[in-house]
Amino acid sequence: MRSRDFLTIEGASREELREVISLARAHADGRLSRPLDGKTVCLAFFESSTRTAVSFELAARRCGADVISLSEKGSSISKGESLIDTVVTLDRLGADALVLRHPSAGASALAARYTDAAVINAGDGCGQHPTQALLDLYALSEAVGGFDELEGRRVAISGDILHSRVARSVIPAFRAAGMEVAIVAPLTLLPQETGAWNVPILDSVDEALEWGAETLYLLRLQNERMNGSSPRVPSVGEYARFYGVARRHLRDGLLVMHPGPVNRGVEIAGDVVLDGASLVPDQVAAGISVRSAVLTLATGAAHEVAA
Amino acid sequence: MSPELVIRNAHVLDPSIGLDRVTDVRLTDGRVAEIGDGLRGTRELDADGLHLFPGFVDVHAHWRTPGREDEETIASGSAAAAAGGFTGVVMMPNTDPVVDKPVIVSGLVRRIEQESRVRAYVSAALHAGLEGKRLTEMRLLKEAGAFCVSDDGLGTASAGVLRNGMLYARSAELPVILHCEDHTLATGVVHDGVAAALAGIPGSPASAEDAATATALILAAETGAKVHITHVSTALSAALVAFFKSWADVTGDTTPHHLTLTDDLVGTLEGMYRVNPPLRPDDDRRGVGDALRDGVLDFVATDHAPHASEEKELPLEEAAPGFLGHETAFAALYSELVLGGVMPLSRLVEAMACAPGRWMGEGAGTLAAGAPADLTLVDLSEEWTVGRENLFSQSANSPYTGRRLTGRVVGTIVGGELIHDRTGARFGVRA
C-alpha cells in the first residue's frame, strides 16, 4: 500500500478534507484501536515547536506507533547534516511516516523526493502548515454542527498574512470547505500581489464584521515586525486597535480562532482569549485527533483498518 | 458665519475655471457664491487695479511649533503666510518633539484652530522621531487630524523602511511628502559646483538628491502610494519626476529660491545662503523653471524655514540650512519668472494656487462656485524692498533681504474674511 504525503492544503478537495475530518472524529470517539501498531513515525524538527511537536508525538503514541524524535538540538541536524541526508537516514532506519518541521518553504516537498515514507509537513517556513488548517476545520466544524455547516459561512483572517504559513494553509482549506474568506491586514503584511488569493482585503476587524464575518481568525504578530530593518507595524496599540479582536467586537454567533501561541492584548484582548466565543482551546484539543487521522491516512493504516 | 462680501472690479485670474478678466466676486457664508459683472452687496471691497487669484497653497512650511517658538509660532507663521497670500499651509513634522504621536497632532490641531489666521494642516512624521527605524501610528495619526505624513528635513536612509512607510501610508490613506536626500552622498553643505570649489566649502553632489529621488519614485510606482516629492532642485530630478508620472501617483514641487537664486551666492561665504537642498547652478535653476512652466513639476512650495539669527550669522559650514519663504514667494516668482518671460502669470497662479489646491483637495485652489472663499488680492505694479521691517515672520532669514521685488499681496481672504489687509496702503494707510 503506497503511503500518502501531506505536503500542502493547496489543491485539496472538499471530499479529501471531509475524509480527514470524519476520521479525526472516529479517533476522538475512540473507535480505532492502535491503528499504527508496528509502524514507525519519525519526527524531525529543524525548527523549534511546542504544540505541534507534542501533539504529533502524542497522536503517534496513542495510535500505537514507535516514535523517533529528532530535534535541532542534540542531533546530527545541529552538526550541519543536510536535510536530504537526514531524510535518507531516517528512511533507511525504516520510517513509515516522517513528520517534518523546517524553516524553509518547500523543505517537505524536497524531503518527499528522497524517501518512500509518507512525509507530513508540520510547517515549512512561510509555506504551508496543513495539519493546522485541518485541525482548524475540525474545531470549527464541531462548533457549528458539522463539516457541511461550514458551507457559505464567512471567515476573516487578520494579521501577518505575508509571513504566515498558517494563512497559506487555512485560506485554501476554508475555501475548499465552501467558506467565504476575507483578509484583514495593512499592505505591509500582505504580499506585493495582494490579489494572489483573489479574496477581499479589508482595513480592520470592524470592517470585517460589517462584511459579515462570522468567524475571526487572528494570526500571531511577531515582535520583529515593529523593529529591525523592515518595520511593518508601528505599535501594539495601533495593531490591536485595527487588526486585533476586542470584547467590543463580540456578538452572538461570532467565533474567534487563533493558531497559537496568542499574544494577549495584541491579536486578541486578554478578556477574549478564553471567552465562550473563543475556539482557541478547542483548536489545541483538535490537534491530537486530527494528527492521528493524518498519520493513519498517511501510512495507509486507515485502509487496513477499514478492510 | 462671515457676512457677505462683494469684491468689485478686480482682475480675476483663475486658470482652474478659465477666468481672466475684470469682474466682480460675491462671497457668502465663507464660500464663493457667484462671479459676474455688476454685482452689489451690503459690504463691498473696491479692488480696481488689483488682481484676484484663488488663495495660494503651500504644502511645505516649518512653523517651528512645538519646540522653537522663538523662531516661529503658529500665530507668526500664519501671519507670514497670510502676508504672502497663502490661505492653506501644511506644517512639517521635524519639530522638537517630532510630530510622531497622535496626541501631538491633536494638540497642534487644537492650537491651529485658536492661533492660525490661515487654514493650516498637520503633516505627521513618516517614522518615529524621523529616525528611519519604526513606522509611526499613521492610522491613529490620521484619526487625530494629520493630513499627510512626511520625512522632511532628513529623508529616509533605508529604501526598505521607505517602501514599508509608503505601503503603510497607503493603508492609512495618507499622502506622503518626501525629502529626497542620500546622506552617504550629501556630505557637504553647499552644491558641489564651481563656487564651492573656489570658496573651499565642502560640497554635496547633485546625485545626493537625484539618487534618492529615483529610489523614491521607483518605490512609489511599486507601492501605489500617493507620493509628493518636495523641493526638487535639479534638472535631472525634475526629469525623473516627469518620467515617473505615467508609472506612479506622483507629484513634485520646487521652491521660489531654487527658481530664482543660484550657488553663485556661495561666493559670499555668508551663512544666510545655506539651504537644503542647496542652491544649484544656473542650468539647474533654469531646468526646474522649465519643468514648473511645463507642469512636469506640479506646483511651488516655499519650504518656509525660519531660523534665529544666531543660527544664520555664522560661517556657511556652521549655519543652519533654510530660508523664510511665505512672504516673498509670489513677488520673487512674479519678478523673476513672469516679468522675466519664463512663464505667463496664469501658470504661476496655477502653480501657487490651483495645482497645490487640487493636491490638497478640500476644494482649495479654485474660485468655482461653492468653493471655500479663500482668495488672494495682489497689486502687480507695487515695487517693494524686502526687509525685516516689513516681514511678519518672527525670524529674518530671507535670502531676498535688501532686494527690490515687483508685485505684492495686498489682501488675503480666508473663509470670506479679510485676514491680511494692506488694501489701505494705496491711500497711505499702513497695514
Q: Tell me, what's the pLDDT at B428?
A: 65
Among B133, B139, B222, beta carbon nearest to A242: B139
**In degrees to the nearest 10, what's the CA dihedral of B356, B359, B360, B361?**
120
User: A226: distance to nearest CA of chain B, Å?
Assistant: 6
> pLDDT tens digit string along B330-372?
999 999 999 999 999 999 999 999 999 999 998 999 999 999 9
A 152-191 near B (Cβ less than 8 A) = 186-188
Peptide bond into A191 cis (omega under 30): no
- Give the SS3 label for residue B408: strand
Residue B168 exposed, middle or buried by CB count within 10 Å (0-12, 13-18, 19+): buried
What residues of chain A lie within 8 A of the CB of B158, using their CB? 229
* Residue A307 pLDDT grade (very low, low, confident, very high; cuts 50, 70, 90): very low
> pLDDT tens digit string along B223-238?
999 999 999 999 999 9
DSSP conformation class of B335: I
Q: Is A94 on the interface with B (CB under 8 A)?
A: no
Which residue is catalytic, options B14, B303, B374, B379? Answer: B303
Q: Which residues of B touch A (CB under 8 A)?
A: 127-128, 133-140, 158, 160-161, 164, 167-168, 170-172, 222-223
> pLDDT tens digit string along A87-123?
999 999 999 999 999 999 999 999 999 999 999 999 9
Q: How far is CA A225 from CA A191, A229, A236, A266, in A?
A: 14, 9, 10, 13
* Residue B429 pLDDT grade (very low, low, confident, very high; cuts 50, 70, 90): low
For range A204-208, the mean pLDDT: 98
Residue A1 exposed, middle or buried by CB count within 10 Å (0-12, 13-18, 19+): exposed
Q: Is B303 a catalytic site residue?
A: yes
pTM, full prediction? 0.94
Q: Look up the ipTM and state it.
A: 0.90
Q: What are phi and psi of B324, to 5 degrees?
A: -65, 150
Peptide bond into A35 cis (omega under 30): no
**pLDDT at residue A243 greater than cutoff 70:** yes
What residues of chain A lie within 8 A of the CB of B139, using their CB? 238, 241-242
Among B127, B137, B164, beta carbon nearest to A235: B137
| Residue A125, amino acid | G
